[in-house]
A and B are shown apart, each in its own frame.
Chain A
Amino acid sequence: MKKSWMKIAIGVWIAAVLVVGISMPIGHIPGLGAKARIIYFHVPMSWLAVLAFFMSMWYGIMYLRRKDMKHDIKSASAAELGFAFSILATLTGSIWARFSWGSFWNWDPRETSIFVLLLIYGAYFSLRSAIEVEERRATLSAVYSIVAFVTVPFFVFIMPRLMTGLHPGEGSPAPILNANGKMYMEASMRYVFYASLLGFTFLYIWLFNLRSKVGILSYNNHSEIE
Chain B
Amino acid sequence: MPGSDCSSLKMKRLRPILSPMRGAVAIFSKDLNSELRTRYALNSLIMFVVVTLSIILFSTAGETVSPSLSAGILWIIVFFAAMSGLSRSFVSEEERGTTMTLQLWVEPSSVLVGKLLFNSLLIYVLNLMIIVAYMLTMPSFVVKSPLIFLITVVMGTFGLSAASTFIAAIISKANSKGTLYPVLSFPILLPLLMGVIDATRLSVEGATFGEAAGDFKILLSYCVVVTTVSVMLFDFVWRD
A binding-site residues for B, Cβ under 8 Å: 64, 116, 119-120, 122-123, 126-127, 130-132, 135-136, 139-140, 142-144, 146-148, 150-151, 154-155, 157-158, 161-162
Contact = CB atoms under 8 A, between A and B. Distances in A.
B233 A146 contact: yes
A130 B176 contact: yes
Contacts of B190: 116, 119, 151, 155
Interface in B168-201: 170-171, 173-176, 180, 183-184, 186-188, 190-192, 194-195, 198
Q: Give the one of A64, A142, A147 with max B CB within 10 A.
A: A147
A130 B184 CA distance: 12
Interface stretch (B59-67, B100-108, B146-154, B218-226): B218-226
Given A127-B184, A139-B236, A150-B226, 9 more contacts: A64-B236, A119-B186, A123-B183, A143-B237, A147-B167, A147-B226, A147-B229, A148-B188, A158-B194
A203 B44 CA distance: 52
B131 to A, nearest CB: 23
Interface in B202-240: 214-215, 218, 221-222, 225-226, 229-230, 233, 236-237, 240
Contacts of B191: 151, 154-155, 158
Nearest to A130: B174
20 contacts: A64-B236, A116-B190, A123-B186, A126-B184, A127-B184, A130-B174, A130-B175, A135-B240, A136-B240, A139-B236, A139-B237, A146-B229, A147-B167, A147-B226, A147-B230, A147-B233, A154-B221, A154-B222, A158-B191, A158-B195
Given A127-B180, A144-B170, A161-B214, A151 B237 contact: no
A143 B174 contact: no
A151 B226 contact: yes
Interface in B112-140: none
A169 B226 CA distance: 32
Given A119-B186, A123-B187, A126-B184, A143 B225 contact: no
A127 B190 CA distance: 18
A151 B214 CA distance: 17
Given A123-B184, A161-B215, A147 B166 contact: yes
A140 B173 contact: yes
B27 to A, nearest CB: 20
A110 B152 CA distance: 26
A140 B190 CA distance: 21
Nearest to B229: A150
B173 A136 contact: yes
Nearest to B189: A151
B230 A126 contact: no
Q: Give the one of A119, A120, A142, A158 with max B CB within 10 A.
A: A158
Given A150-B229, A154-B218, A131 B188 contact: no
A43 B194 CA distance: 26
Contacts of A142: 236
Contacts of B214: 161
Contacts of B170: 127, 140, 143-144
B183 A126 contact: yes
A150 B184 CA distance: 14
Nearest to B174: A130
A100 to B, nearest CB: 25
Q: Give the one of A136, A140, A142, A161 with max B CB within 10 A.
A: A140
B225 A150 contact: yes
A154 B175 CA distance: 30
Contact of A127 (B163, B174, B218, B233): B174
A136 B174 CA distance: 9
Nearest to A142: B236
Nearest to A126: B183
Q: Which 4 A-B pairs have the closest CB atoms?
A: A154-B191, A130-B174, A119-B187, A120-B187
